[in-house]
Amino acid sequence: MEKFAHIQPWHRQFWPWFIIALPLTAVIASITTLIIAAHDPDGLVADDYYKQGLAINQILDRERRAETLGLSGLLRVDTSTQRIRLTLDGPLDARNQKDMVLRMIHPTRPNLDRTLTLNSDGHDEWSAALEHAAAGRWQLQLEPSASDWRLSGRLTLPDQQQALLQPNTH
């Protein structure tokens, strides 16, 4: 009996706990991954990818039309008045629009996306109120209400105060 008197019980030894820790770590990591996946699902995968693929052709047609018309625009953010202003260059009939629709698309967080209606101020200029927009990089898409052409651009807030809008036919 003296031979076993100095042996500690199993729960006071290192190796049993080491062996238990390996699978326990995998279980905890799996549960953590499941919680993250359930809490913040991937919003970038579309269920109707086929319909969206067909819509890309229509979008490209609108971009090509803007290129054919020679349209371009300059979008400026006026921080003092909290307004966004657009100046459009191109043929008079293409610029003769009462309202424009500007989509501000966040690349990773769709809940931050915005759609603004820019109203004509006359003299080839449109504007709208710009409430607090989150800092970061924004993809811009400008279309007239009739949606017969489209211009695109990028804006990084708050560092950048203006963006060039051009047809994106690439």
Distance of CA 12 to the CA centre of its chain: 54
What are the pLDDT digits (tens) for 40-78?
A: 766 666 666 667 666 666 777 788 888 888 888 899 988
Burial code of 119-151, b = ≥16 C-beta within 10 A, e = fewer? ebeeebebbbebeebeeeebebbbbbeeeebbb
pLDDT of residue 1: 53
CB 100 within 8 A of CB 145: yes
Work out the pLDDT band at 3, boundaries 50, 70, 90: low
CB 127 within 8 A of CB 111: no
pTM attached to this predicted model = 0.64
Residue whose token pair is 């043929």: 91
% of the chain residues with pLDDT over 90:
21
Question: Which residue has better confidence, 7 or 16?
Answer: 16
Complete domains list, the chain, with CATH: 71-165 (2.60.40)
Q: Output the average pLDDT for the chain.
A: 83
What are the pLDDT digits (tens) for 70-112?
A: 888 899 988 888 889 998 887 766 667 788 899 999 888 888 8
pLDDT of residue 18: 92
